[in-house]
Amino acid sequence: MTEKQFVITDEAGIHARPASALVGSLSKFKSDITMEFKGKKVNLKSILGVMSLGVSSGSTVTIAADGEDEEQAITTITEVMKNEGLSNQ
Amino acid sequence: MKRTLSGIAASNGIALARAFRLETPDLTVEKKTIDNADQEVQRFESALSKASAELETIKERTAAQISDKEAAIFGAHLLVLSDPELVGPITEKIKSDKVNAEFALKETADMFIAMFEAMESDYMKERAADIRDVTKRVTAHLLGVTIQNPSLIAEEVIILAEDLTPSDTVQLNPEFVKGFITDIGGRTSHSAILARTLEIPAVVGAKKVMETIENGTFIIVDGLEGVVIIDPDSALIEEYQEKKASYDRQKAEWAKLKNEATVTADGHPVELGANIGTPKDATGAVDNGAEAIGLYRTEFLYMGRDAFPTEEEQVDAYSAVLKAMDGKPTVVRTLDIGGDKELTYLDLPKELNPFLGLRAIRLCLEMPDMFRTQLRSLLRSSVHGNLKIMFPMIATLEEFRTAKALVIEEKEKLAAEGIAVSDSIEIGIMVEIPSTAVMADVFAKEVDFFSIGTNDLIQYTMAADRMNENVSYLYQPYNPAILRMVKMVIDAAHKEGKWAGMCGEMAGDEIAIPILLGLGLDEFSMSASSILKAREQISKLSKADMATHTERILALATADEVESYVKDIM
């Protein structure tokens, strides 16, 4: 399993547009990918799951990928986070 | 069947086409027990793929016809359709509970809707609407009913609806939508204003359209008279085709006045400006012969998005308008939000009386950081043209002084940073609250200009909600009470050597124009499509003549008396 933490810097937190980009970029991965925020863990391939966390600006989320392509998945997530202005880590 | 219906003439022009009813079908879902779960899951999957295909088409069309930004929302809807956390539990439910797909979908979606609605931020609460929207689409396919999408219309139609929301109206393609008729709404409702911007004939407040007219019926909409004719015979069709042609000819005549100055028959120049909502509208304003922008509503820059526009985005928008106007006066109204106009990312408490609540300048002074960003953006843009800053909803002199002080502070900060700002920016106010109209003589010593916002001034003076049809008879622009107040404002401005304009609907009204000319109004700002007509009318009127009538007009007792008096002298 590969894990990585991100501090969300977008003023509006994880809102619909970047959340769509994030979820949309993951459909091609076979790994199970989750995002954890304030003790709640959701499927990162689920737009409803991601949105339901209501992640606000300045908070830290932990993303974990588990499967054959877990490392590529984390790399993609890091890129999307950067491109969408969500986080620069 | 009744052959004609009448309503409020909301946007000029005539259209003849088939009726297209825009309505929500009955999507009531009943719980049923099913025998073959696999078959039911298949039915569900097939509805999902039909809904996806439909959304793909809508997304592509929206991207092509409107913008990628508007299309993005449908991208999010597509993701909801393929969401494992939604599709998984529904499939499970069909199999384990042996229930029909519609019911399993409803139960699961309702759980998500409730979850989002319970969230604290208004923005997240709004996401419940997205889930509802997607659920409706799939349910419709399961039930075998059609959900209409106005952006998919591909033949000439006249749209009929109970009411049109701003999001419905952006989906209308003017190439095919020749006109529209709504049951509710008035001349100043959003759909009416949008119809005038798109130059589509419209009749609103026609009350019984949805009850009376069936889909596909041939109808005529006369946006000049506010009349709808149902299933006309060939003689009537011919008559209206002639009327349409003559209106189109008239429009072509007006077009010749595009580059002319606006001068009265006795040689007095006045300024005709346009009211705009987006930088794109500035081009339309110039094309329609605008000599100025009398009202740029900046709130559109803040609406339909999920975070405040940044300083750079604002500078881009304001600069684009100033550049398009090429040195012509451009009055930019600072953010007029709150009350009925909400921003999803701004968590404002619900108010009992939004029109009397925390809105416009009141909200801006309450949130100085947000306001300072807008002022700073305006100041930075000022070097690109002739900027005038206008504060909305000013009720007291203190409000004006506080707002103006913020402008001066931001200007000093920019100067310290070495950023250029124009030195000739006028700072004025909208007069739309009676207290300010009454105190206009005092305000005139401190402001650079007044612009009378009649839509709200009438609503506040008559104590009549302009969205409430039951009191729409009180929306009386010609009421002598309003005219007397307008006179007070104009006189007060002139006494201090300042100018007075008007940016409400009344400024483009053919009965009001002669009166306003007589009262000495300097600037008339209206929908771009009304400018050329107003220019022609003014060129035939003598200001001196009109001035001789004003005393008598202001002494009349009722709005009706004023209207007939003006009609008599014209």
| % of chain B at pLDDT higher than 70 | 96
pLDDT of res. B40 = 95
pLDDT of B165 reads 63
Residue B275: its pLDDT value, please? Answer: 94
Contact B76 A42 (CB under 8 A): no
Q: Name the residue in chain A with its Cα closest to that of B345.
A: A12
For A20-69, how does the pLDDT look when each residue is reduced to its tens digit (9 = 90+)? 889 989 989 999 999 999 999 999 999 999 988 888 888 999 999 999 99
Q: What are the catalytic residues of B?
A: 190, 503
CA-based nearest residue to A79, from A18, A1, A38, A13 = A18
Residue with token string 């909305």: B392
Residues of A in contact with B123 (CB under 8 A): 12, 15
For tokens 């939004």, the residue is B354
Of B334 and B24, more confident: B334
Helix (H, G, I), strand (E, B) or coil at B309: coil
Residue B135's alpha-carbon distances to B66, B141, B363, in angstroms, are 24, 10, 36
Crossing angle for the helix pair B101-117 and B37-65, nearest 10 degrees? Answer: 50
Predicted confidence band of residue B170 (pLDDT cuts 50, 70, 90)? low
Chain B nearest C-alpha distance from A11 (Å)? 8
The answer to whether the CB of B333 falls within 8 A of the CB of B390 is yes
ipTM reported for the complex, 2 dp: 0.87
Q: Is A15 one of the catalytic residues?
A: yes
Q: Give B124 to chain A, closest Cα distance, Å.
A: 7
Percentage of chain B lying above the pLDDT 90 cut: 67
Report DSSP state, residue B148.
P
Q: Does A51 touch chain B (CB under 8 A)?
A: yes
Pairing of strands B449-452, B499-502: parallel
The pair of three-digit structure tokens given for residue B414, joined into one six-digit string: 């920019």
- Highest mean pLDDT: which range of A14-18, B77-81, B416-420, B528-532: B416-420
For residue B484, the surrounding DSSP H or E stretch is: helix B480-495
| Integer Cα distance of B166 and B143 in angstroms | 28
CB contact under 8 A, B80 and A23: no
Name the residue with tokens 């009726």.
B19
Helix H or strand E encompassing B288: none
Give how far B64 is from chain A: nearest CA, Å.
19
Tracing tokens 């229930």 back to the chain, one arrives at B99
Which secondary structure element, helix H or strand E, spans residue B322, and what is its range?
A: helix B311-325
Residues of chain A with C-beta less than 8 angstroms from the C-beta of B132:
none
Q: What is the phi/psi pair of residue A31, to 5°?
A: -60, 155
According to the per-residue pLDDT averaged within each range, which of B287-291, B301-305, B560-564 is highest? B560-564
Euclidean distance between CA atoms B27 and B143, whole angstroms: 8
Task: Tell me the pTM.
Answer: 0.64
Q: What is the pLDDT of residue B303?
A: 83
Q: What are phi and psi of B410, to 5 degrees?
A: -65, -35
Question: CB distance A12–B345 less than 8 Å?
Answer: yes
Q: Which of B381, B285, B296, B376 is nearest to B335 (CA)?
A: B296
B334: closest CA among B361, B356, B315, B354?
A: B361
Chain B residues in contact with A48 by the CB 8 A cut-off are 80, 83, 85-86, 112, 131
> Which residues of chain B neighbour A10 with C-beta distances below 8 Å?
307
Compute the average pLDDT of residues B187-203: 78
Q: What pLDDT sits at residue B196? A: 79
Output the DSSP codes for B359-392.
Answer: BHHHHHHHSHHHHHHHHHHHHHHGGGSEEEEEES
How many residue contacts between A and B have a Cβ separation below 8 Å?
A: 59
Spatial neighbors of B454 by CB under 8 A, at least 6 apart, are: B432, B477, B482, B486, B502, B504, B505, B506, B507
Side-chain half-sphere of B426: how many Cα atoms within 13 Å? Answer: 21
Query: Which residues are within 8 A (CB) of B357 and not within 5 positions of it... i.e. 6 or more apart?
Result: B338, B339, B351
Determine the residue among A29, A48, A55, A56 to mutate to test chain B binding: the one whose Cβ has the most chain B Cβ atoms within 10 Å: A48
Q: Report the pLDDT value the prediction gives residue B171, as an integer from 0 to 100.
A: 66
Q: Looking at the predicted structure, is the pLDDT value of residue B167 above 60?
A: no
Query: CA distances (Å), B364 to each of B104, B285, B372, B413, in order?
Result: 46, 28, 9, 19
Residue B82 with chain A: CB contacts under 8 Å? 27
CB–CB of B306 and A17 under 8 A? yes
Q: Which residues of B545-567 are buried (b: 16+ CB within 10 A; e: fewer)?
A: ebeeebeebbebeebeebbebbe
Q: Of B290-299, B415-424, B464-473, which range is least confident?
A: B464-473
B261-288: average pLDDT: 92
As a whole number, mean pLDDT of residues B230-235 equals 94
Structure tokens at B321: 């308008």
Give A46's contacts in chain B (Cβ within 8 Å): 83-86
User: CA B457, B453, B207, B228 torsion: positive or negative?
Assistant: positive
How confident is residue B1, by pLDDT bands cut at 50, 70 and 90? very low
Q: Assign B420 to helix, strand or coil.
A: coil
C-beta of residue B517 within 8 angstroms of C-beta of residue B274:
no
* DSSP secondary structure letters along B66-112: T-HHHHHHHHHHHHHHT-HHHHHHHHHHHHHH-B-HHHHHHHHHHHH
Residue A4 pLDDT grade (very low, low, confident, very high; cuts 50, 70, 90): very high
Q: Does A12 touch chain B (CB under 8 A)?
A: yes
A43 → chain B, closest CA residue: B85
d(CA B438, CA B567) in angstroms, rounded, equals: 29
- A56 to chain B: closest CA residue: B121
Q: Do B85 and A15 touch (CB under 8 A)?
A: no
Distance CA B273, CA B291 (A): 5
Cβ–Cβ contact A57 with B under 8 A: no
Nearest CA to B164 out of B144, B192, B141, B139 is that of: B192
* Cβ of residue B306 closer than 8 Å to a chain A Cβ: yes
| Length of chain A in terms of residues written | 89
B495 Cβ neighbours under 8 A, 6+ residues apart = B441, B444
CA distance B116 to chain A (A): 7
Over the stretch B27-79, which tens digit does the pLDDT of each residue have? Answer: 889 999 999 999 999 999 999 999 999 889 888 877 876 677 767 778 888 99
Residue B426 β-bridge partners = B388
pLDDT, tens digit, for every residue of B335-372?
998 766 778 788 778 888 888 999 999 999 999 999 99
Distance in angstroms (rounded) separating the CA atoms of residues B140 and B426: 55
**B127–A42: do the CB atoms touch at under 8 Å?**
no
Q: How many CA atoms lie within 13 A of B330 on its CB side?
A: 32
Residues of B in contact with A34 (CB under 8 A): none
Computed over every residue of chain B, the mean pLDDT equals 90
Instruction: Give mean pLDDT, residues B208-212.
Output: 90
Given CB atoms, is A41 within the 8 Å cutoff of chain B? no
Least confident segment among A30-34, B174-178, B314-318, B378-382: B174-178
| CA B380, B330, B396, B311 torsion-angle sign | negative
Lowest pLDDT segment from A75-84, B68-77, B100-109, B499-508 = B68-77
